[in-house]
Structure 1
C-alpha cells in the first residue's frame, strides 16, 4: 500500500471536459485527462481495504456491484501511485482484454462499490485505468504476441462486438485458429456502430484490431452469417462456433401512426451517422439528419442520451427525451445503501449539451407516446403524449404504469428516434444454426454455461444474457472461450 493515508490526504479529481457548446461542433472525444502526476495521487487514494468490493462483480438486489471481470483494482491503483505503469498494465491485462474500451465507455460499477464511497468520494478507478492503457500504448508495452504453438483447431466467432472479440482473443492466445465473421463493413460490432465517436473514437478500435490481426486472428467483414454466408458451411469448416451477434432486435412503439415517415430506431440513426462520418465526414449525406428538426427521443437510457447528443451535433432545432420511469433521486435513498449500484439521477453528456444549447433538460419523466400524427406527405409532424402513474393492480398486487386521465398533450415533431431497448437477438441467425431460445428471446444454455443445444455451437454476450454492458460482454467472451477450449482439448488453462 503506497500511501496509507492517501484517501484522507487527497480529494477525488477527474478529467476536465470540453465545454458543451464547444464540443458539439465535432464528434470527437471530449475528456481532457489529468496529468500523470495528478493521476498518481488519485491512485494513492485507494485504501487497499480488507474486502475490495470494487473487484467483486457480485449481484446485490438485482444489480451488479463491482467489476464483472474482476479487475485487480487495488493492485494497479497502487502501481499507478508508485509510477510502475508497466507492471500496472501487466496486472490490468490479466483480466481485461480491452481496457482501452472500458476506460472510455464503462459506467464503472467498480467505483460505485469502492469503500471510499461509503463516506466520501470513490477512487477514480476508471481514469486510473485510462492512464494505464494509454501509457502502455505510448511506451510500446502493448504489442503483438502471437502464440508460439498452434493446436490446429479452428474456431469461428460470429459477431465482432466486445463478446466476440474477447472470445477470439482468448482462444487465439491458446493457439487455436480463430476467424471472426462480421456482417458490417467494419470490425467492432456495438463498439463500432452502436457507440458514438464522442464516447469511443473508432481509431481506438482499429488500433487494437490491428494488433489482434498481427497475432493471427482472421477478420472477415460483410459476412452476414445466415444471409450471404451459410451456417452449414461454417459448421462444416470449423471445429467449434461461437455465436456473439448481440441483442440487436429493437423494441418498437406500437401505437397508431407508427407507419409515418420520419420514425426510426435509435440503432439505425446512430449507425448511419457513424458510418457516414467514417466514410466521408458526413459529406455523402448517407445518414438520417436531425438538422433543423424538432426531435423526439423515446427512451431515457444510454442509447437515448446518445441520440440526444448526436441530434444536437447535427444541428437539431429542439430535442425532447421521454422517460417512462419516474425521476430518480439525486442522492442514494435509504433503501439503496453502499455497495449497491446507486439508483440516482445522472445527467449525461447529451443532456448537458441540451441544457447548454436549449436552456433546459430534455427529459420528460413518466411520459410515453400514445399516437403519432402524419401530415399530407405522410411525414410525422406531431406526437400525442400522456403522463403515466405507478398504480398497484388490485388482483395481482403488481405495480403497473397507468395513463393519467386528462394528461394528454400534443407536441410538434419532425423526427422520432425510438430508443426503448432491445428484445433479444435477431432470429434469422438462430434459425440458421437451429439453436433454441429462452423466454426472453436469448439463446438458451444451461445456467452458467455457454453451450447451446446444437453440437459444437456456443454463445456469449448480449445474444446470451440480453442487452447489457460492454464489460459484461467481455466477461462472457472470456468465459465462453474457456468452455470452448476445454471442449476442444479436454482441459483448459485459460
Structure 2
C-alpha cells in the first residue's frame, strides 16, 4: 500500500478526451492515458484491502493492488510484469473493458472507485513506448500441435499461452486479417487496429502461425458476419493433423427483430454498418452504407448500439436516436445493495456525448417504407407488470428513420462449425463444456475444446481472455499430463 491516507487525500481523476468537435472528424483514438503523476496519484488511492474485491470482480483476476502500488512507487516495468501475469492483452482491456473491477472496488461503496482501468491503460502504453513488451518464446518444444479456430481474444490468448510452453500452435481465421471482432466489430476510435498488429507480431515471434482466409467446417459460403474464406478445411482433417483443437470463434448470430417491414432497404444489423466502416478505415474499400445527412435510429442500448452512434456521428448524420425496450436505469446505483457486483445504472458513453437522443421502454412494432425504402418506424411505449412487458394504450408513435441499425446482441456462435465437428450444444446453442474439474473446456468430441463466446455465448472481451487462458491450461494438461500454466 503506497500511501495509507491516499484515498482520503486524492480524488479520482479520469482520462482526458479530445473535444467532440475535433474527434468526430476522423476515426483516431481520442482518449489520452494518464500522465505519470496522474497514474501515481490514482495508485495512491488504492487501499490494498484485506480482501481485494477488485481481484474477484475482474474476470482475469488481475492482481490490481500490487500494480497500483508499483505505479505509485514508480516501478513501471515491474507493474507491467504483474499486469501481464494475468492478462495477455491489457492494451485491449485498458481501452474497451467496462471495468467490473472498479464496480467491486471498496472505495466504490461510498466514493469514486480507484481509476483501475486508467492505470492499466497507462501501464501498457508505457510498456509499449519503452519496448518492454517483447516475445517470450518457449525454451524447448514439446512436439505437440494445437489448432485454434478463431482469432478473437479467446483464440489469441489460448494460442499465446500454449506457444509459451512449447506447443506448435496454428490459428485458423476465416477472414483476411487476424483479430476477430476486435478487428472487425469495434470502431477504430475505440481500439486502434495497430495494437492488434503489434501484439500479433509478438505472437508470431513466439512461434504462433496464422492461417487466414480459411473456414473450418463443411462449406465456407455465406457463413458468419464477415467471411473472406478462400479455403475450407474439414474438422476431420484438422483433427488428423493436430493433437488438440480449440474452438474459439465469436457469437456471430445477431438477434433479429422480425417486425413487418424488416426487409425494407435501410434496415440493417449493426455489424453490417460497423464492419465495412472498419474495413474502409483500413483501406479495404468503401462502406456501402453512408448515413451522412440521414435520420438514424439505433435499436438496442448496449456497446454495439453505442458504436453505431459514434460511427453515425462521424458520418455526419442529420439525427441519431437510440431506443431500447428496457426501462431507463437509475442515474446512480444502489451501492449498499449491489456492491461488489456489477450495478444497474444509466451508462453514458463517449459516443452518446457526441450527440444522440436516447429513449427507453419502447417496442418497435413496424418498419414503414415507400417503394421498398425505409421512411420511419412505428413504435409503442411499454411497461413491465408482473414480470411481463405490456403496451401502454394510446402511446403509439412514429419516428422518422432513413436507416435503422439492429444492435440487440448476439444469440449464439456459428452452428455450422459446431455441427461440422459434431459437438454437443447446450440449450442456447453454445458448445457444451465445463469450466472446472477434470476435462474442463473439453467438448463431447475427443481432443476438441471450446472457449470464449463459442462456449459461454456473447460476453465481454475480458471473459474471452480468461477462457482462452484457462482452455490453454486444460489443453496443456490433456497433452502433457500436467501444466505450469496459470488458471
Fold shared by both chains (TM-score > 0.5): yes
CA distances 1:102-152 after superposition (whole Å, capped 9, x unpaired): 000111111111111222111111111111111111222111121110011
Q: Counterpart in 1 of 2:36? A: 36
Q: Counterpart in 2 of 1:233? A: 237
Cα distance in 2 between the residues matched to 1:114 and 1:334: 11
Answer yes or no: is 1:365 the counterpart of 2:365.
Answer: no
Answer yes or no: is 1:414 the counterpart of 2:402.
Answer: yes
Cα distance in 2 between the residues matched to 1:335 and 1:7: 19
Alignment of 1:19-418 (within 5 A): 19-56=19-56, 66-226=57-217, 227=220, 228-279=232-283, 284-333=285-334, 336-354=337-355, 361-376=356-371, 378-392=372-386, 399-418=387-406
Superposition deviation, residue 71 in structure 1: 0.6
What is the SS of the residue equivalent to 2:233?
coil
Cα distance in 1 between the residues matched to 2:357 and 2:417: 37
What is the SS of the residue equivalent to 1:164?
helix
Superposition deviation, residue 229 in structure 1: 2.4
Superposition deviation, residue 447 in structure 1: 5.5
Superposition deviation, residue 416 in structure 1: 1.0
Q: Does structure 1 conserve the Cα–Cα contact (< 8 Å) formed by 2:251 and 2:453?
A: yes
What is the SS of the residue equivalent to 1:199?
coil
**Backbone CA RMSD of aligned residues:** 1.2
Q: Does structure 2 conserve the Cα–Cα contact (< 8 Å) formed by 1:336 and 1:343?
A: no
Of 469, 474, 483, the match for 1:478 = 469
Superposition deviation, residue 336 in structure 1: 3.2
Q: Counterpart in 1 of 2:484? A: 493
Superposition deviation, residue 334 in structure 1: 6.5
Cα distance in 2 between the residues matched to 1:158 and 1:167: 10
Q: Quick check: 336-345 or 43-52, which moved more?
A: 336-345
What is the SS of the residue equivalent to 2:261?
coil
What is the SS of the residue equivalent to 1:336?
helix
Q: Does structure 2 conserve the Cα–Cα contact (< 8 Å) formed by 1:143 and 1:211?
A: yes
Label 1:172 to 1:334 Cα distance change in 2 as closer, same or farther (>3 A).
closer
Cα distance in 2 between the residues matched to 1:446 and 1:88: 33
Label 1:10 to 1:73 Cα distance change in 2 as closer, same or farther (>3 A).
same
TM-score, with structure 2 as normaliser: 0.94
Q: Does structure 1 conserve the Cα–Cα contact (< 8 Å) formed by 2:12 and 2:114?
A: yes
Q: Which runs of 5+ in 2 are unaligned?
A: 221-231
Q: Does structure 2 conserve the Cα–Cα contact (< 8 Å) formed by 1:435 and 1:454?
A: yes
Q: Quick check: 418-427 or 443-452, which moved more?
A: 443-452
Superposition deviation, residue 344 in structure 1: 0.9
Cα distance in 1 between the residues matched to 2:123 and 2:141: 31
Q: Does structure 1 conserve the Cα–Cα contact (< 8 Å) formed by 2:251 and 2:411?
A: yes
Superposition deviation, residue 21 in structure 1: 2.1
Q: Does structure 1 conserve the Cα–Cα contact (< 8 Å) formed by 2:110 and 2:335?
A: no
Cα distance in 2 between the residues matched to 1:38 and 1:493: 37
Answer yes or no: is 1:7 the counterpart of 2:7.
Answer: yes
Q: Counterpart in 2 of 1:428? A: 416
Label 1:335 to 1:388 Cα distance change in 2 as closer, same or farther (>3 A).
farther
What is the SS of the residue equivalent to 1:386?
strand
Q: How many residues align?
A: 469
Q: Counterpart in 1 of 2:430? A: 442
Q: Counterpart in 2 of 1:62? A: none
Cα distance in 2 between the residues matched to 1:272 and 1:439: 32
CA distances 1:200-254 after superposition (whole Å, capped 9, x unpaired): 0100111111111011100111111112222221111111100011111001001
Cα distance in 1 between the residues matched to 2:428 and 2:80: 38
CA distances 1:252-275 after superposition (whole Å, capped 9, x unpaired): 001111111111111221111101
Label 1:128 to 1:175 Cα distance change in 2 as closer, same or farther (>3 A).
same
What is the SS of the residue equivalent to 2:338?
coil
Superposition deviation, residue 195 in structure 1: 0.9
What is the SS of the residue equivalent to 1:425?
coil
Q: Does structure 1 conserve the Cα–Cα contact (< 8 Å) formed by 2:108 and 2:335?
A: no
Label 1:171 to 1:23 Cα distance change in 2 as closer, same or farther (>3 A).
same
